[in-house]
């Protein structure tokens, strides 16, 4: 009972500072979304496919303390400071910016120090940290859901390239196979949480153009489907043998050519 109460206390502490953990390396602090800082605090600015790519560039640089990623333009700013009342120079010139800070390994309570209007809590035990962070999807690592593990990658690839990519991971995996409405909704929430509400490959195909899709790894016909009205349908007479989930439109499914490029969520059973 004491452990459960402590976990609740930890979750409330995280919510109070408006922090959201996205990986073992970075966490989101929405207090500084759409805020700007001095140009001298910006190590470099570039465009990346996703917040995942932006964050990975930060973790490779010792001098990087935080990032700003724009969901609309995919612009990434690598910062040498943690935003606070001194480094905050006011609002950005346009919206869409999400702010993430690099983890330091310090107790969660210490993360509240620079946030205006928050109260630092000292009775925090970092041993419970892992339990609390698992409740939110991790955009940079594997996520467990309903007995399976999932990994989101924002790189655009063809269907076959995505199959090869998933198989190359450790442990080997396959393109996600959605077998229920709950799993389809979970995929949609994962993509939106990570700032990538786009179309994602599903591991089914219709090689005989019968309109019936079969899961490649499970080797069974799809029982659950979430087709957009009018789908599946070949586009402009070109056989559309592969299927995607449009996570930005409630996860509806469309059939497209396998040579198209889309993002992927890899799935493994252990």
**Structural domain contains residue 117:** yes
Where does the chain have alpha helices with state H?
2-16, 51-59, 129-133, 159-168, 181-193
Are both 72 and 166 inside the same structural domain?
Answer: no
Confidence of residue 185 (pLDDT cuts 50, 70, 90): very high
- Output 233 or 90, whichever has higher pLDDT: 90
**Structural domain contains residue 138:** no
| Rounded distance between C-alpha atoms, residue 165 and residue 172, angstroms | 9
pLDDT at 114: 38
Using CA of residue 30, residue 32, residue 34, residue 39, what is the dihedral sign? Answer: negative
Q: 14-18, 37-41, 202-206, 216-220 — which one is most confidently predicted on average? A: 37-41
For the domain that residue 126 is a member of, what is the CATH number? 3.50.4.10
Are both 121 and 232 inside the same structural domain?
Answer: no
What is the residue-averaged pLDDT of the chain? 77
**Structural domain contains residue 220:** yes
Are both 105 and 153 inside the same structural domain?
Answer: no
Q: What pTM, to 2 d.p., does this model score?
A: 0.53
Confidence of residue 213 (pLDDT cuts 50, 70, 90): confident
Q: How many domains does the chain have?
A: 2
Confidence of residue 29 (pLDDT cuts 50, 70, 90): confident
**Structural domain contains residue 227:** yes
Residue 129 has pLDDT above 80, yes or no: no
Per the CB < 8 A criterion, the answer to whether 267 and 150 are in contact is: yes
Question: What residues are paired with 11 via a beta bridge?
Answer: none
Residue 251 belongs to domain spanning: 143-268
Angle, alpha carbons 111-113-119 (nearest 5°) = 100
Beta-carbon neighbour count of residue 198 at 10 Å? Answer: 18
Confidence of residue 141 (pLDDT cuts 50, 70, 90): confident
DSSP state of 228: P
Confidence of residue 253 (pLDDT cuts 50, 70, 90): very high
Are both 126 and 150 inside the same structural domain?
Answer: no
**Structural domain contains residue 260:** yes
**Structural domain contains residue 194:** yes
Are both 111 and 160 inside the same structural domain?
Answer: no
Are both 127 and 147 inside the same structural domain?
Answer: no
pLDDT at 106: 41
pLDDT at 25: 66
Residue 115 has pLDDT above 50, yes or no: no
**Structural domain contains residue 172:** yes
Beta-carbon neighbour count of residue 170 at 10 Å? Answer: 6
Residue 266 has pLDDT above 90, yes or no: yes
Domain boundary among 64, 98, 133: 133
Domain boundary among 102, 133, 164: 133
- List the structure tokens of 32: 């500084």
Are both 151 and 129 inside the same structural domain?
Answer: no
Domain boundary among 133, 154, 187: 133
DSSP state of 144: E
Percentage of the chain exceeding pLDDT 70: 75
The secondary structure of 230-264 as a DSSP string is T-S--BTTB---EEEEEGGGTTEEEEE-TTS-EEE
For the domain that residue 183 is a member of, what is the CATH number? 3.10.100.10
Per the CB < 8 A criterion, the answer to whether 201 and 215 are in contact is: no
Residue 258 has pLDDT above 70, yes or no: yes
Are both 194 and 72 inside the same structural domain?
Answer: no
Are both 100 and 34 inside the same structural domain?
Answer: yes
Are both 158 and 189 inside the same structural domain?
Answer: yes
Q: What is the pLDDT of residues 154-182, one digit of tens each?
A: 899 999 999 999 999 988 999 999 999 99
Are both 197 and 235 inside the same structural domain?
Answer: yes
Tokens 């928050």 belong to residue? 118
Are both 83 and 22 inside the same structural domain?
Answer: yes
């Amino acid at each position: 009972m004491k452990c459960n109460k402590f976990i609740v206390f930890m979750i409330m502490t995280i919510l109070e500072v408006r922090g959201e953990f996205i990986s073992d390396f970075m966490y989101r602090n929405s207090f500084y979304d759409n805020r700007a800082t001095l140009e001298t605090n910006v190590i470099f600015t570039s465009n990346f496919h996703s917040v995942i790519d932006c964050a990975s560039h930060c973790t490779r640089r010792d001098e990087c303390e935080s990032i700003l990623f724009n969901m609309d333009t995919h612009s990434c700013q690598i910062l040498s400071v943690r935003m606070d009342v001194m480094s905050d120079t006011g609002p950005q010139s346009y919206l869409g910016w999400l702010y993430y800070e690099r983890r330091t390994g310090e107790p969660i309570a210490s993360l509240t120090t620079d946030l205006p209007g928050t109260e630092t809590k000292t009775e925090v035990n970092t041993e419970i940290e892992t339990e609390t962070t698992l409740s939110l999807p991790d955009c940079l690592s594997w996520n467990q859901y309903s007995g399976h593990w999932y990994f989101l990658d924002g790189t655009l690839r063809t269907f076959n390239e995505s199959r090869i990519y998933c198989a190359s991971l450790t442990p080997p995996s396959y393109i996600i196979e959605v077998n229920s409405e709950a799993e389809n909704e979970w995929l949609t929430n994962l993509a939106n949480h990570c700032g990538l509400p786009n179309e994602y490959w599903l591991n089914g195909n219709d090689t005989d153009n019968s309109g019936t899709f079969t899961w490649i790894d499970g080797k069974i016909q799809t029982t659950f489907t979430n087709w957009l009205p009018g789908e599946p349908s070949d586009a402009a007479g070109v056989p559309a043998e592969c299927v995607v989930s449009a996570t930005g439109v409630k996860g509806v499914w469309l059939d497209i050519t396998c040579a198209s490029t889309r993002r992927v969520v890899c799935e493994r059973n252990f």
